[in-house]
Each structure stands twice: as structure tokens, then as C-alpha cells.
Amino acid sequence: MEHLLNKGVRQMQFSGIRRIANMIVDYPDAINLTLGQPDFLTPEHIKQAGIAAIQNNKTTYTQNPGLLDLRRAAANFMQQKYKLTYRPEDEIIVTTGASQAIDITLRTILEPGCEVILPSPVYPGYVPLIQLAGAIPVLIDTSNNGFVLTAEMIKEKLTDRTRCVLLPYPSNPVGTILDEQHIREIAELLKDKEIFVVSDEIYSELTYGKPHVSIASIPEMREKTIVINGLSKSHSMTGWRIGLTCAPAYISKEMVKLHLYSATCASTISQYAALEAWTNGLDDPAIMRNEYEKRRDYVYDRLVSMGLDVVKPEGAFYIFPSIRRTNMKSFDFAVELLKTGGVAVIPGDAFSPEGEGFIRISYAYSLDTLAEGLNRIERFIERL
């Protein structure tokens, strides 16, 4: 009866990231530089808030869009950090991680046959969701432009079917950001068009040297933009599964229906931990960000010294060096590096065909781990 299963789901592929991740278990001595998982512990005061929620029997359902106090705290966070103003009552939804936030957003705004413009290489979680909604992903190759999506590049891809432009910055896998000038140019292009913008800002607290700027902070763009955020990366709370959508009420009232039927509400225990994070932990990311910046500088300098072409990341905790000079396919390079070099990285083609010729290295690891991993990469390249 397999033929009766949803064709769209059957045609989906597991993330290319899993191809390497599934192999790592056979190489227990390998240095693993694949994960987008902060190596910091969730701050103690946040953990204690979760424990207190359990002990005080705060384990029932909450309102579908989340605890009102939590939505108020999230609204304050968005205002303080990014000058974004959203009503907690009807413009903010607390979701089961940013992944669910992306899912309900895309299913709300997309219909069969419409198009979504997004940069490439890109996190592999978007395209399957776009396709499940019956929409068409329109990938723009940014590999020859420092991995930065520009208004001019978007303009070339606009059609009468364009429904949405997706801005996933700071970027996974390349670590680039959109600075204020790029944001304003994109806003100028789109402000008078009936096109939504989905701005995935899950790494917004992890930028180096330049502050994060949200396109929703431009007045003309607020009413057509859905901002995605959450606590997984900023507060090292990946397993707590707390995401966030911020959008005008006319969009949010439709998204919350999907949230209701797919999740009812985010974990109550996690919501109370999140309340602590967005109330008393607004500065928690600073310690992690400072450490990531040191690691970024170290990894970048080492890769440059190996003769690899690489764009210096300005956000997130990934770096995306080119391995084209080895004349190896990304997947073959990653497999051989794991088998004979003892290091696990993600092949660039896991992030769309435009990622071919690159590898993704996560620097969400200690400097000692990074040093040993890069020593092994250097020896591996020297043997090629």
C-alpha cells in the first residue's frame, strides 16, 4: 500500500546533512564539526525556571499562541533588541521551535503554483516545506557574490507568481548577514509589491561587528513581513523547542489555526523557561557570542593559511570554505576526510546544488576541538 502514501512526502529526501551524520557512528575517534548545536549549557537560571514549572505543576495546556506573559516578554525582547513593535495579544505566536514557525508561516501564505525566492546555498529545511505547500522554490545562486542576496538579484527573478521572498540571515550555512544598506535596498524593491517577506532571524543574537537589522523595522515592510526567531541558538536551548513568529494580526490570526491543529501549544515547561530567558536573560547570549567570535577568527585564519578560499562569517557559527581546488566533489571530499582524515564536516551540496565545491564547518566547539580538527584537515589536504 506504499503507493497510497502522500506523493509529496515520498518524494522528499532526508536532509543531506544526515548522509554524513549517519556515518559518524562508525568513526568514534573522528572530530565532529557538523552540528549546529551550541556547546554551551542552557544558563542555570533558565533551567531552574523549567524545574520550578514542573515542581509547581505548571504542566497543563496554555493558550494556543503561548502564555500571555511570555508573549509580552518576547515583545519586549523584539523591541529592545531590534526596534520591532508587536502586540503580544494578537501578533506573536510561541511555537515548537523555529522549524514549526517556518512551517506554519509558509503553509499560511503559500498556495499551489506560486513562487518563493530564496538565496542559495541555504539551510535545507525550507525547500521541502515550500514544495509541500505546492509552491515553487526559486533559488538564487549567491556563491559568486560573497553569499549575499541583493535587491538586484531578487529583481531578476520576480514574476507575477512571486508570493514570497525568504531572507534567512544570519545565514546557515555560510555565516553572512544582510547589513542595513542591503536591507533598505530590498525593502525599496518590495515595498509596493504584493509579496510577503519571511525573515528567519534565529541567529540574530549572534553577529560579529555589525548589529542585526530586521527588514520588519522598515515601516513600509512591517505589514508584509513575518519574522521568525527563537531561543535555540541565542540561549543554547535547542532541545527546549521554543520558537517565535512575529507578524501583523491579519497574518497571525491565520497562522495560529495551523499552530492549533499541529501542536496545540508549545511545551508549557519550556514556555516558563523561555519566560525567564526573555525576562532576566536578555544579555545571556553576549558571553556565547564573544566566544564564537574568537573561534570564528581562529578558524578563518587557519583555513586561509591552508590556501582555501573562504568568506569571513559575520554571524551564526558556521564557515563555508571552498574545496574546489582539490577537484573533488563536496560529498566525496567529506567522506574521504572522515574515513582517512578523522574529521566530520558537511558537504556543501547538502545546502542545494549551488553549494557544490564547498564544505560547512561548525565552530560551535571548543578551541581545543577546533584546533585538532583543523590540524587533521590541514594534513588531509596536504596529502591530496
- pLDDT, tens digit, 9 for 90 and up, residues 157-177: 999 999 999 999 999 999 999
* CATH 3.90.1150.10 intervals, the chain: 2-42+285-383
Residue among 298, 289, 314, 372 nearest 40 (CA): 289
Calculate the alpha carbon distances from 99 to 17, 52, 102, 105, 202 in Å.
16, 27, 5, 10, 10
Are 172 and 203 in contact by the 8 Å Cβ rule? The answer is yes
Rounded Cα–Cα distance for residues 256 and 206 (Å): 28
Rounded Cα–Cα distance for residues 237 and 98 (Å): 12
Tell me the pTM.
0.96
**What topology does CATH give the domain 2-42+285-383?**
Aspartate Aminotransferase, domain 1 (3.90.1150)
Q: Retrieve residue 203's grid coordinates.
A: 541567529
- Identify the CATH assignment for 59-280 out of 3.30.70.100, 3.40.50.2000, 3.30.530.20, 3.40.640.10: 3.40.640.10
Report the pLDDT averaged over residues 256-278. 98
pLDDT tens digit sequence for 60-95? 999 999 999 999 999 999 999 999 999 999 999 999
pLDDT for the residue numbered 1: 94
Q: Retrieve residue 2's grid coordinates.
A: 506504499
In DSSP terms, 207 is beta-bridged to 315
For 316, phi then psi, to 5°, come to 60, -155
Q: What angle do CA 67, 70, 73 make, to 5 degrees?
A: 155
pLDDT tens digit sequence for 106-130? 999 999 999 999 999 999 999 999 9
Neighbouring C-alpha atoms within 13 Å toward the C-beta of 131: 16
Q: At what angle do helices 285-305 and 367-383 cross, to 10 degrees?
A: 20
Amino acid identity for residue 312 in this structure: K
Are 97 and 230 in contact by the 8 Å Cβ rule? The answer is yes
Query: Which pairing describes strands 162-167 and 196-200: parallel, antiparallel, or unpaired?
Result: parallel
* CATH 3.40.640.10 intervals, the chain: 59-280
* DSSP class of 207: B
Residue 60, judged by CB atoms within 10 A of its CB (0-12, 13-18, 19+), counts as exposed
Q: Retrieve residue 280's grid coordinates.
A: 532576566
- Confidence label for 7 from pLDDT (cuts 50, 70 and 90): confident
* DSSP class of 172: T
pLDDT tens digit sequence for 339-373? 999 999 999 999 999 999 999 999 999 999 999 99
Rounded Cα–Cα distance for residues 161 and 195 (Å): 10
Question: How many helices (H) and strands (E) would you count in the chain?
Answer: 13, 12
